[in-house]
Every structure is written in C-alpha cells, then in structure tokens.
Amino acid sequence: MPDQLPVVVVGAGIAGLTLSLCLARAGIQVTLLEKAERLREVGAGLQLSPNASSILIDLGLGPALDATGVRPEAVAIRDSASGEVVTRMPLGGVMMDRYGAPYIVIHRADLQATLRDAVMNEPRVTLHLGAEITSIRQFKDTVEVQATRGGKSSTYTGSVLVGADGVRSMVRQKVLAGGPAVYTGRTAWRATFQASDWHGALDLRKETGLWMGPRAHLVHYAIDAGREINLIAAVDDDWIEDDWDVPGSKLQIRDAFADWPAQVRELIDKPDIWRKWALCGAPSNTPWVRERAVLIGDAVHGMLPFVAQGGAMAIEDARVLASLLAAEDDRSIEERLSTFVSLRKPRTDKVMAMARRNGSIYHLDGLSAKARNMVMRLAGPERLLDALDWIYGWTPVES
C-alpha cells in the first residue's frame, strides 16, 4: 500500500475483526474503534458456508471453529402443511468434496471470540473499546477520526477509513451521505435451548432444518459443539416497538406458529427466552466509497438473512479489501477502493436479490406452496446445490 499510516476501522463486528486480522497478516497497521465497552456477541447462531469458512480457515482459525462449531450432515427442508421433508440437501462431506471447505454452524459468541482472540494476538492491531466517534474528516492523503473514550477526546489518523459499523452505520450516514437502515417488514425471533432437553423425533444435532410455511419460516441447527440448539423464526410483521431488538413474548411466537405441525410447536415451546429483532437492510442506493472512506459488511449491504450470507459477505469483503490494500503496486488508494467496489457490489447485489426471493418463496401459501414443493422435489438436492455453486464456490480474486 502506498502509505505507512494505519487503516482506521470503525466497528469490531464480523466484518471489522476479519478485516483487521487480514490487514495485520499482510503487514498493515490497524486502528480498530468499537463503541461497545466489551466485545459481546449479538444474537445467537450463525451458519458459515464454505465461501466464508475457507477464508477463516486460511487465517488459521480452523481448529478454533471446529472446537465450538458443528458440521451438519444435511439441511432438511420441510413444508408446514404436511410436515414432510420436501428435499434434503447434503452438507457435511459433500461441501468438502465440492468446495474444499466445510459448512459450519456456530454460536456467534464463539465466532466473535475466535476472531477477537486472533486480533488481540496481532501487534499491528490497536483495538480501542468504548470509542464514541464524534467527527470524521477526510483530507487529501489522510483521514482523521475523533472519538471520546472514558470522557477523554482522542484523534486517530489513518490512510483509509473503513466503516464496518453494521446496518445502522454511522459512517454510512455521516461520511457517505447514505440513509438510515430500512425495515424489511419481517421480524426474526431468536432463541436457544439445551440439546439434552430435546426428546422429539427430529435429530437436531445431525441436521439443520428449514420449515417453510405461510408468512413465516423456522430454521434450527446445533451450536456450541452440539450442546445447544439455535432457533430462528422469521415472521412477516409490522414493527411497532421503538427498539429494534426486544424481548419477545412467548405467547406471540406460539400464536404465529399455532397451526404448524406438532414438532414445530414443540420446538417453539422449548426455550424460556425469545428475542425479537427487526430485520433491517441498508438502503438500496448506498454509496460504497467516498474518497478514502469505504463501507464493508452490513453497513453497505445489510440484507435479509434468508440465504444465510450476510456474515459471509462481510468476511469476503474483508478478505478482498485487505488484499487490494496490501497489493505491492503503484495504484493509488482511490483506485484500489474503486476496484473493491467493482469486485464486490455485483456479487452482494445478487446475494441480496436471492435473499429477498427466498423470503417470498419460503412464505408461500396454498396452491403456490404446493407448486413450490413440487418444483423443489423434482429438482432434487443436486440441482439445489448447483444453484448455490456461485455462492459457496467463490474464491477471492487477487488483483
């Protein structure tokens, strides 16, 4: 990179931590600013498809991921009307054979701790927790971020500013003149329970599950080395609370799934505590780059989680941006950032469109749902896998 100043990264979530690690490994100094006082996990589980797990494994995180993550054998896709399996797509060994990397399901806390520990071991990364950003200015060759920490104001100067501050990104709104997060009309209900408490017929440890039904779907998979089961219920809904992450009422979630098969109702009944999230996206016209400032992860392409790719795209962004910034050639920073956008935007746009489409397909009702099931049955697992090759089989382009 034609500059010796650090890269200033705002936000130590999946995107910011992965980017910091990739940059440090490439010999670049990083100042990582996080507003939270402590790095704590948000949410419950996360699915890591091979396009993302391969990057983390390349960073040396494979053993840590395997210690807490689970490699499910398959995903069983079921219909809520009959309760029957529509199709079963193999994951386990097939992912390794096809893409050379595993499909892993993991607790977010475990992924975040793995990334955080690796970042803390990098002397090139300086992490500042509890940093409230007060202003960001761009000059011809530098960026300057002012933040208060513990009542004291500090200035951080860098060569590039990366906004990795999530779907409600302040960098997007303040520096790139982008809009606020947009509510999608869907809520996600999230909960976990002890796997040992489950005595139902479904083998929750071995397979992940996707149940499709009218105006809702349910996803379940094992996390914490198989000790816990993670549930995500996505429901068409109007959001009326002021907050976007609130305790969910068990009565309300029971009600949403009242007409579903007994196995689903049993699952919904298991956890004591549910949380309810407003599913929001970044506005569609979000600019990615302005001079030396760039957005990555949910800050620029926050999306519906219906292809389980938001975190994966954040990890891919981090990998691509780091290798562009580290490349030993005479391109300017602005040229590198512009290449980053041309490499990433078409792909993330396509993934976002697929997530929206899946939302509609999963929530079909009546005859449309029957037609969907027939198409899925006829396609079979091989065709479903073929349709995902462009996502799971991605590898970074070095340029």
Ligand X SMILES: Cc1cc2nc3c(=O)[nH]c(=O)nc-3n(C[C@H](O)[C@H](O)[C@H](O)COP(=O)(O)OP(=O)(O)OC[C@H]3O[C@@H](n4cnc5c(N)ncnc54)[C@H](O)[C@@H]3O)c2cc1C
Task: Write down the least CB distance from residue 228 to ligand X, Å.
Answer: 15
CA atoms of 111 and 389, how far apart (whole Å): 24
Position with the least CB separation from ligand X? 13
- Residue with Cβ nearer ligand X (14 or 324): 14
Assign 3-class secondary structure to 137-189.
Answer: EECCCCEEEEEEECCEEEEEEECEEEECCCCCCHHHHHCCCCCCCEEEEEEEE
- Is the alpha carbon torsion for 396, 336, 291, 17 positive or negative? positive
What dihedral do alpha carbons 264, 266, 267, 269 form, nearest 10°? 120
- Residue with Cβ nearer ligand X (59 or 312): 312
Q: Which of 268, 258, 6, 213 is nearest to 124 (CA)?
A: 6
Instruction: Give the residue ranges of DSSP H helices in the chain.
Output: 14-25, 50-58, 62-68, 92-99, 108-120, 170-174, 250-256, 262-269, 298-301, 310-326, 333-362, 366-392
- Residue with Cβ nearer ligand X (107 or 190): 190
Task: Write down the least CB distance from residue 16 to ligand X, Å.
Answer: 6
Task: Write down the least CB distance from residue 239 to ligand X, Å.
Answer: 13
DSSP for residue 259: T
- Residue with Cβ nearer ligand X (1 or 355): 355
- Residue with Cβ nearer ligand X (35 or 205): 35
Task: List Cβ neighbours of 227 (8 Å cut-off, separation of 6 or more).
Answer: 194, 195, 196
Task: Write down the least CB distance from residue 286 to ligand X, Å.
Answer: 13
Task: Write down the least CB distance from residue 329 to ligand X, Å.
Answer: 28
**Considering 99, 103, 221, 362, which one is annotated as catalytic?**
221
Task: Write down the least CB distance from residue 302 to ligand X, Å.
Answer: 7
**HSE on the CB side for 279, CA within 13 Å?**
22
Give residues in contact with ligand X (CB under 6 A).
10-16, 33-36, 46-47, 133, 164-166, 170, 188, 190, 232, 277, 279, 297-299, 305, 308-312, 314
Instruction: Judge residue 163's burial from the number of C-beta atoms within 10 Å of its C-beta, 0-12 exposed, 13-18 middle, 19 or more buried.
Output: buried
- Residue with Cβ nearer ligand X (111 or 376): 111
9, 31 contact by CB (below 8 A): yes
Query: Is 221 an annotated catalytic residue?
Result: yes
Q: How many residues does the chain have?
A: 399
Catalytic residues: 221
